[in-house]
Amino acid sequence: MFGISPLGWVHTLGSLPAIPVAFYMFARYGRIVPRSTAGAIYLVSMLIGAFTVFLVTHVPVGNVIGAVTIVLLVAGYAVGWVPGLGRAGRYIETVCLSLTAFLLMLPTVTEILRRVPDGHPLVTELDAPLLLGAQGSLLAALVIGLGAQIVHLRRSAARIPL
pTM summary value: 0.92
Write the single-letter amino acid at 81: W
Residue 73 CB coordination number (10 Å) = 21
Spatial neighbors of 48 by CB under 8 A, at least 6 apart, are 10, 11, 14, 15
Across 51-61, b (16+ Cβ under 10 Å) vs e yields ebbeebbeeee
Pick from 58, 141, 78, 133: which is nearest to 104 by CA? 141
Question: Which pLDDT tens digits describe the chain residue by residue (162 residues)?
Answer: 777 899 999 999 999 999 999 999 999 999 999 999 999 999 999 999 999 999 999 899 999 999 999 999 999 999 989 999 988 999 999 999 999 999 999 999 999 999 999 889 999 999 999 999 999 999 999 999 999 999 999 998 766 554
